Structure formats: C-alpha cells, structure tokens
Amino acid sequence: MTHESRQKNKQRNLWKRAFLTLVGIIVLAAIALAIMIQLPSKSDSTFGEKPNDSGTTPISAELNKRQLNTLSDYYLDKLQNGRNNAKYHFEVADQGIVYGSMKLLGTNVDYSVFFDPKVMANGNVELHATKLSLGRFPVPISFVLTYVEKSYKLPKWVQLVPKKKLIKLDINHMTKHGLNYRAKTIDMSGKGKFAFDIILPQ
C-alpha cells in the first residue's frame, strides 16, 4: 500500500470515528429526554394524583426549562463521571440541543445536534432533528440516522425514521416493570413547560 493510500485510509477512519461519535450523540439525544422522565425533581417539580378510566392512578410531573436543564446536568454528570474527555451536554432552549467537543485530526472540534420535540396523541414523543454540525460543517442528518438504524441495536422503544429526520420515542412502553409514561405537554417557549404522567401498574 502506498503512502498516499495509507493517508487516505487514515483520513477515512478519522471521519468514520467522527460520524460514529455523532451517531452516538443523536441516539443519546433521544434517550436523554426519555430517561429524564424517570428522574423527577424532589423539590422543584410539581406532583399530583388523578384517577383515570382504567382504574390506575397517574402521577403527574411538571417541569420548566430551568428544572429540566438542572436535572439533565445532574444526570449527565453522574453518567459521565470519571471521563476526562468526550463529554457531552444536553440543554433545552428554543430547541433541544446536544453539544460538546471531540478530538479530530489532533484538534478539538465542537459538535451540536438541534431538535424539536413533539407530543403525539398517544403520549409518545417525536424528536425532529433540524441541524447536525461538526465544527463549521453541516452533516446530513438522514445519512447519519440511516447509518445508526443499520449499524446499531437500539432499544425497542426508540425508532428512527431517516427520510423524515425523526426519532420516535415509545415512552408508553419504555420499561419492563409495569410502569408507563405519557407526555402531556412539551412547550419550548418562554420558561418552558414539560408535563408528563407516570402511570402506575394496577
């Protein structure tokens, strides 16, 4: 193999690692929101109980942007404890944002993923990816989602729809312990409002 071929292979491998990192970011962006539903704040969130027609008792949880971001920081700090690099962050602003930096060609390069969440009629959540960038360069979202779909074994409650740039979260069936989750409101405007029901087993 010539020196030029080795250089090209090395460059392709570096970009492959970069794409794999971004792939992980997209999946984590999807999973982060769903996981946070399971971590209600002890003091800042509001809870209430109300019966429903099926006889189960939903526990209602409501958070604003500040509370959700605080919860996100707490969870991700615990998750990434001991890691000196490649840490990522999740933030809710006008859109959901996952961002951080990665080593590429010996240089730290920033990355970011932007997405808009939407509550479905059945209480599940869709994440519409709007922008994916690596440094100053935009990355084709549908290409990365297609790669993820073909290359990774995702949880059953995470479904990718590459052509529509969608990540579907079936939070109704997220756990195997009889608990169900249902999104009621995701409002990204102003201070934000994120309301969910946790449906206890009978």
pLDDT tens-place string over residues 121-178: 998 988 898 988 877 777 788 887 887 777 767 778 888 898 998 888 888 887 666 6
Q: Is the pLDDT of residue 114 over 60?
A: yes
**pTM reported for the whole predicted model:** 0.67
Contacts 24+ apart (CB under 8 A), 120-124: 120/183, 122/172, 122/182, 123/171, 123/172, 123/181, 123/182, 123/183, 123/184, 123/197, 124/168, 124/169, 124/170, 124/171, 124/172, 124/183
Task: Quote the CA–CA distance of 156 and 30 in Å, as a whole number.
Answer: 13
Give the three-class secondary structure for 64: coil
Mean pLDDT of 90-105: 80
Domain with 121, as residue range(s), is: 3-199
Q: According to the model, what pLDDT value does residue 78 have?
A: 73
Query: What is the number of structural domains in the chain?
Result: 1
Report residue 85's pLDDT band, with 50, 70 and 90 as the boundaries: low
